[in-house]
Structure 1
Amino acid sequence: MPIEELRLSLPTRPDEGRYESPSDVVQVFETQNGSPLGATQHTVASAAFWGFLTTQFLGAFNDNYFKQMVLLTSASNAAVVTGAGGNPDRQSLAMAAFALPFVLMSGLGGFLSDRCSKQRVIVGCKLAEILIMSIALAVLLMPGLSANAQLIWMISVLSLMGAHSAIFAPSKYGILPELFRGDKLLPVNGAVQMTTFLAIIFGTACAGFALDQIRDAMWIGSAIAIGVSVFGALSAVLIPTTQIAEPGLKLKLENLAIPAEIGRLILRERGLLMAILVVSVFWFLGAVTQMAVNTLGKSTLGMSATRTSLMVVAIGIGIAAGCAVTGYFGKGGNGRRWVMAGAWLLCFTLLMVAILGSGQLGVPASSGIVDTNFFTALLRADGLEWGLRLNMMLLGGAAGMFVVPVQVYLQQAPPDDMKGRLLGVQNLITWIGILLSAAYVGVGGMLLNLCFGPTGNAKYQWVIFVSLAAFMLPICLFYRLPAVTGKVAANEGKQAW
């Protein structure tokens, strides 16, 4: 095609006048076919890929190690904090403390992602992570703190982790289309999501084991987390420096929430809007599930912290497998079938967990036993406990199948000069959902206690899983992921529902 015909075939853009040469036009054409402007195309064998993968793996490990440690300490508050009688379960407070910074700072993270090199934002976040983990160590070594006061301080540090992750996330996902071709994004995202949830597996398992084994010397675990942060910062240096998407972008008050330009985009492109909302619902369900599994294991079934964490680990194993399978077998397609299959399987497995955890089939033989050996907890379990772990694994697999194609769509569909801010908005809406999960668990627990007495939340935690299946049902019935060829067309989003 002659270059002038190519120019005429391009969509009209408000800033079209800035393309002053044929090469500029060709670059725009390449941008709209999945290769962002100025992108260096790396492979999965490159140092860039493995540096990025290592960085986000180690960051996710620390996030989930510390968060699960705080959540489990909160779930067993009566035993861990006071030894008897007890304080209220502070899981919802801890989750709110972790989620609120995402709501307040995701917009800033999106702005920095477009205004600065995404690689520099990532490196800066890794350095901040070292400082935050050092604060956690200082809290655990602080003399004279009661167990209850220490827990409150740990929740405060968890909030700092949330702020760090809110800045990190838009650059983490926004840099992928700048490093890899559009046709590689599904397998690359599959690998990223898989290793993220492998990090969740190891971080969660280590937290449960630490609470059972070295609770009186938790500073050792915190010192290890500092070391992990250092290695994460070093691996981030392997990520190539990327171009700045919008060098002249000015920070405005609207950038801290939803910029007007991004608001107009997602209202115009319904496919983007629905994908953002679906991802938010997905992570709302995930946050509720983690807290509900902790309560189900510790309070309803009387399991140790290690065995309770192993159920969360089973979810992580399933998610890692679901992400890997979707990334490998889904390449070349638009992912719609994977999203539908994952949604229905999520609904089914949530109902199965509710049945197995209802108490109608009894409680695990390990109920009331404090494990002193991790491998004993891992390998010695009765049929009911293995059934719960298997269903948690299927639940995670369904989650991986569901979320990877939607995340790829959100990376590919928006214009390159808006990608960081749109992912910041997605992060904001996602964490509003996670923040609401804290309220949902708190209010749900109060309602169960009101309806069934003081132990209602512990005995009837299975009701929460039934309610989550009900949340998934409209998505199963009505949501259909739009196809993407290059960028979202003006009317493509209308196919979303």
Structure 2
Amino acid sequence: MTHHDQQSSIDELPSSTRAEGELPPLLRDPSFWGMSVTQFLGAFNDNLFKQLLLLLATPTAVELAAAQARGETAPDRQSEAMIVFAIAFLLFSGFAGWLADRTSKRTLIVAAKVAEIVVMALGMVGFLFYGSIGFSGMLVVLFLMGTQSAFFGPPKYGILPEIIHDRDLPQANGIFLMFTFMAIIFGVVLAGQIGSSVDTVWIGSAVCIVIAIVGTLTSLFVRRVTPANPGMKLRLSDFFVPPESIALVKRDRELLLAIIVTSSFWLLGSIVQQAVNALGKSQLGLGDQETSILAAMLGIGIPIGCLLGGKLSAGRINPRVVAWGAFGIVVSLGLMSLRGGPKEHLLGFYGSIPVLIVAGISTGVFIVPIQVAVQALPPANEKGRMIALMNQCNWIGIILGALLYQGALEICEHFNQPRNTAFAIGAAVMLPIALWYRPKERSLGD
């Protein structure tokens, strides 16, 4: 088969209806950069605040040893935080998706950023009075942060196909996700610097308030867009899963598989985030700063992988890129699960750093083509609700990941196994995807 014949056999996605030249080149588009910076700042806040709570929830090696000496257990409450954050998404993503199709996505983005300022202010108050409200009280603030993020999600991803050319989606998503995971690096590292001491943790929320204000200002650079489906009526089903979305994924097997895979990906992410914190604090006996450095290594690799994934995709959905990323994740997590003795970690702190970076690169390469598929495949008037459905499925995955991690901890405790065993569960989740999932190769048109 000739190269021309191969190109002709590739299904074409519907091209954009915008006139050529109507939009500026991607890298010179202030609207795109405004949205990217806004996403960066929002993700920074999410990860700084969440990592501060996760560090508070993770017992240290000293606390574990002291509890064992008393015949007790020191609870790891990370799963509680992950589940509370996820429940907010499950409750509100459906309505948020309806809003994203019914209302201008730009209006919702600005409104969500204003709400972020309020939530971060509540977070600072909560940390200042942590002695009175405790960890359970902070879970209420975390729920509110999850709610704000649920309303921000559909418009922030759904607006990209509306403000850029379809052919630019892979590169735009690579940059967009690069900013997202750079924010994870800075947020997680700063959380480690601040530490989980109740005397200093409020400083993190003070930083978050400033970042939320700046993010609100950058959101004003996003280009105004008209509602995709302004006459749509609100129905009870829109609070859950609209029948149109169910019908769409039923008839579009590729879109259904992409949503299932992204959900499995976030299930994996839920396990790995908690496993890294437990490896550092509970198994290797590291402090908050060193533990957060380990967590940030994923964040260093992911932006590189996102840019690489966008470059390798080159204006199309490329199944080979997905496969390379998936196998890289499986191998990296398999290495992280290896032990050097009954309770030891083979790689240790310094050996884990390059492996986690490679895991991050593989993650970025893997997720970019799938993210593009979920944005490009649905009809224009259903993109918001479809991204909301994806968000709901992703957070179901995160809840399942938290439960799997909690179950893994109990098994490790019962059989006296090291906590890095949880990485093996993550590798097992990704292995069938690496072996069998291949999205259909498609050109992205104009």
TM-score between both structures, scaled by the size of structure 1: 0.81
CA distance in structure 2 between the aligned counterparts of 1:333 and 1:63, rounded to whole angstroms: 31
> Deviation at 1:221?
2.1
**Match among 119, 142, 145 for residue 132 of structure 1:** 119
Q: For 1:223, give the aligned amino acid.
A: A
Q: Report whether the alignment pairs 1:182 with 2:166.
A: yes
Unaligned runs of 5+ residues in structure 2 are 1-11
- Superposition RMSD in Å: 2.5
SS of 1:217 mapped into structure 2: coil
- Change in Cα spacing, 1:34 to 1:189, as seen in structure 2 (3 Å) is same
Q: Report whether the alignment pairs 1:304 with 2:287.
A: yes
- Matched with 2:375 is 411
CA distance in structure 2 between the aligned counterparts of 1:40 and 1:204, rounded to whole angstroms: 39
Mapping of 1:332-343 within 5 angstroms?
332-343=315-326
Percent of matched pairs sharing the same residue: 39
List 4+ stretches of structure 1 deviating above 6 A: 36-39, 77-81, 83-86
The question of whether the paired residues in 1 share the 8 Å contact of 2:13 and 2:377 is answered with: no
CA distance in structure 1 between the aligned counterparts of 2:90 and 2:20, rounded to whole angstroms: 31
> Deviation at 1:484?
3.0
Q: Report whether the alignment pairs 1:199 with 2:163.
A: no
Q: Deviations over 1:245-269 (max 9, x none)?
A: 0001111111111110110110100
**Match among 199, 213, 216 for residue 230 of structure 1:** 213
Q: Report whether the alignment pairs 1:47 with 2:11.
A: no
> Deviation at 1:184?
0.5
The question of whether the paired residues in 2 share the 8 Å contact of 1:35 and 1:177 is answered with: no
The question of whether the paired residues in 2 share the 8 Å contact of 1:318 and 1:393 is answered with: yes
CA distance in structure 2 between the aligned counterparts of 1:238 and 1:55, rounded to whole angstroms: 9
Q: Deviations over 1:223-260 (max 9, x none)?
A: 11100000000000010111100001111111111110
The question of whether the paired residues in 1 share the 8 Å contact of 2:113 and 2:216 is answered with: yes
CA distance in structure 1 between the aligned counterparts of 2:20 and 2:378, rounded to whole angstroms: 16
Q: Deviations over 1:324-362 (max 9, x none)?
A: 11122321342211100001111100101111x554695
> Deviation at 1:438?
1.5
**Match among 423, 430, 433 for residue 472 of structure 1:** 430
The question of whether the paired residues in 2 share the 8 Å contact of 1:292 and 1:461 is answered with: yes
Mapping of 1:104-119 within 5 angstroms?
104-119=91-106
- Change in Cα spacing, 1:31 to 1:179, as seen in structure 2 (3 Å) is farther
**Match among 366, 369, 382 for residue 402 of structure 1:** 366
- Change in Cα spacing, 1:135 to 1:68, as seen in structure 2 (3 Å) is same
CA distance in structure 1 between the aligned counterparts of 2:241 and 2:18, rounded to whole angstroms: 23
The question of whether the paired residues in 2 share the 8 Å contact of 1:58 and 1:229 is answered with: yes
TM-score between both structures, scaled by the size of structure 2: 0.90
- Matched with 1:251 is 234
Mapping of 1:48-447 within 5 angstroms?
48-76=31-59, 87-142=74-129, 145-146=131-132, 149-211=133-195, 215-355=198-338, 359=341, 362=344, 384-447=348-411
The question of whether the paired residues in 1 share the 8 Å contact of 2:332 and 2:358 is answered with: yes
The question of whether the paired residues in 2 share the 8 Å contact of 1:340 and 1:476 is answered with: yes
- Matched with 2:5 is none
Q: Which has the larger radius of gyration?
A: 1
CA distance in structure 2 between the aligned counterparts of 1:360 and 1:264, rounded to whole angstroms: 51
- Change in Cα spacing, 1:32 to 1:333, as seen in structure 2 (3 Å) is closer
The question of whether the paired residues in 2 share the 8 Å contact of 1:409 and 1:484 is answered with: no
Q: Deviations over 1:71-95 (max 9, x none)?
A: 11100279799x9777521111011
- Change in Cα spacing, 1:252 to 1:391, as seen in structure 2 (3 Å) is same
CA distance in structure 2 between the aligned counterparts of 1:219 and 1:262, rounded to whole angstroms: 41
Q: For 2:426, give the aligned amino acid.
A: L
CA distance in structure 2 between the aligned counterparts of 1:99 and 1:447, rounded to whole angstroms: 24
> Deviation at 1:50?
1.4
Q: For 2:39, give the aligned amino acid.
A: Q
CA distance in structure 1 between the aligned counterparts of 2:405 and 2:239, rounded to whole angstroms: 27
- Matched with 2:4 is none
- Change in Cα spacing, 1:410 to 1:363, as seen in structure 2 (3 Å) is closer
CA distance in structure 1 between the aligned counterparts of 2:219 and 2:13, rounded to whole angstroms: 26
Unaligned runs of 5+ residues in structure 1 are 1-29, 365-382, 488-497
The question of whether the paired residues in 1 share the 8 Å contact of 2:100 and 2:108 is answered with: yes
- Change in Cα spacing, 1:230 to 1:269, as seen in structure 2 (3 Å) is same
Aligned residues: 428
- Change in Cα spacing, 1:168 to 1:39, as seen in structure 2 (3 Å) is farther
- Matched with 1:14 is none
- Matched with 1:373 is none
SS of 2:285 mapped into structure 1: coil
SS of 2:360 mapped into structure 1: helix
- Matched with 2:3 is none
CA distance in structure 2 between the aligned counterparts of 1:134 and 1:358, rounded to whole angstroms: 45
SS of 2:228 mapped into structure 1: coil
Q: Deviations over 1:10-35 (max 9, x none)?
A: xxxxxxxxxxxxxxxxxxxx992135
The question of whether the paired residues in 1 share the 8 Å contact of 2:284 and 2:349 is answered with: no
- Change in Cα spacing, 1:142 to 1:467, as seen in structure 2 (3 Å) is closer
CA distance in structure 1 between the aligned counterparts of 2:422 and 2:343, rounded to whole angstroms: 18
The question of whether the paired residues in 1 share the 8 Å contact of 2:93 and 2:391 is answered with: yes
> Deviation at 1:41?
2.5
